[in-house]
Amino acid sequence: MITMQDIIREGHPTLRKIAEEVALPLSKEDLKTGEEMLTFLRNSQDPELAEKYELRGGVGLAAPQLDISKRIIALLVPSNDPEKPEPILNTVMYNPKIISHSVQDACLSDGEGCLSVDRDVPGYVVRHDKITLTYTDSEGILQKKRLKNYEAIVVQHEIDHLNGVMFYDHINSDSPFALKDGVLVIE
Ligand code: NI
């Protein structure tokens, strides 16, 4: 099982590499990696398991964070609606690709964090508010999905890891909380 010891931290060169496309049909090895990544996220959100294994809670993980330079991301975004308890995103994406996005930009009011970054880096991380992406799912089926707001931001953070980009690369270091007009701030 994946624990924090398996996650590489900023400064490791793999986090700055462009990850390789995953070969199709999906290999057993790549499927196993994806499954383990999703299990890590599930464990990290379980209070007992997170405490027992000292896991930091996460909603997304990218294979390069495990020093596997491949285009695989896992997402587990819990619901915030008690009427609809199933997670908003609960999936592994192979070769995810943003094919279009809104003109509207958005950022999270609390900034972003990363399992590969053991410090707070305050500041707005401005991203697209809405994205349309394609990816291959664990069944080997090509999927197309539209996402907005928080889910769209999480996916963009993870896809950045496939391109060697860290969230703080987007923060304006001179004035981290300066925003252009019209950027949606998501609470
Ligand atoms: Ni990250």
- C-beta separation of 157 from 166 below 8 A: no
Mean pLDDT, the chain, integer: 97
Residue 80's pLDDT band (cuts 50, 70, 90): confident
Q: What is the pLDDT of residue 153?
A: 98
Task: Quick: pLDDT tens for 3-57.
Answer: 999 999 999 999 999 999 999 999 999 999 999 999 999 999 999 999 999 999 9
Cα–Cα–Cα angle for 96, 116, 1, nearest 5°?
80
Distance from C-alpha of 102 to C-alpha of 135, rounded to nearest angstrom: 19
Q: From ligand 1's centre to the CA of 66, what distance in Å? A: 11
Query: Apex CA 46: angle with CA 45 and CA 50, to 5°?
Result: 85
Cβ pair 121, 168 in contact under 8 A? yes
Q: What's the average model confidence in pLDDT over 160-180?
A: 96
Please tell me the distance between residue 40's alpha carbon and the centre of ligand 1 in angstroms.
14
pLDDT of amino acid 88: 94
Residue 118 CA, ligand 1 centroid: distance in Å:
11
Q: What is the mean pLDDT of residues 166-174?
A: 95
Please report the pLDDT score of residue 77 as a whole number: 97
Residues 136-145 have a mean pLDDT of 98
What's the confidence (pLDDT) of residue 169?
A: 97
pLDDT band at 74 (very low <50, low <70, confident <90, very high): very high
CATH numeric code, 4-186: 3.90.45.10
Map tokens 């609470």 to a residue.
187
Ligand 1 centroid to residue 129 C-alpha, Å: 18
Instruction: Using alpha carbons only, give the angle 161, 166, 168 rounded to the nearest 5 degrees.
Output: 155
User: Is 158 among the residues known to form the active site?
Assistant: yes
Categorize the per-residue pLDDT at 96 as very low, low, confident or very high, splitting at 50, 70 and 90.
very high
The percentage of residues in the chain with a pLDDT greater than 90, rounded to a whole number, is: 97
Q: Active-site residue among 51, 139, 158, 187?
A: 158
pLDDT at 81: 87
Indicate the domain borders of the chain.
4-186
- 64 Cα: distance to centroid of ligand 1 (angstroms): 10
pLDDT computed for residue 97 by the predictor = 98
| Structure confidence at residue 154 (pLDDT) | 98
